[in-house]
Amino acid sequence: MVEWRKSSYSATASDCVEVGRGVGIRDSKSPAVHLQITAPAWSAFLAGIKSRKGVSAA
């Protein structure tokens, strides 16, 4: 069984994106479906987010 984690920034327990180690990401409102993502792809995604921290969208 996969343990799904919710962001500490989630406003409510039902409106968030969850991450499952080794499995992928899913919407908490539709937990039966998830998007598979590799560990390198997830790391690249997080690195991209961190590098843009404080940068406003144009």
Q: In what order do the strands lie in the sheet with 17-20?
A: 4-6, 17-20, 24-27, 35-36
Can you give the residue ranges of every domain in the chain? 19-50
Q: What is the pLDDT of residue 12?
A: 66
For residue range 13-38, what is the model confidence (pLDDT) as tens digits? 667 888 888 778 888 888 888 889 88
pTM: 0.59
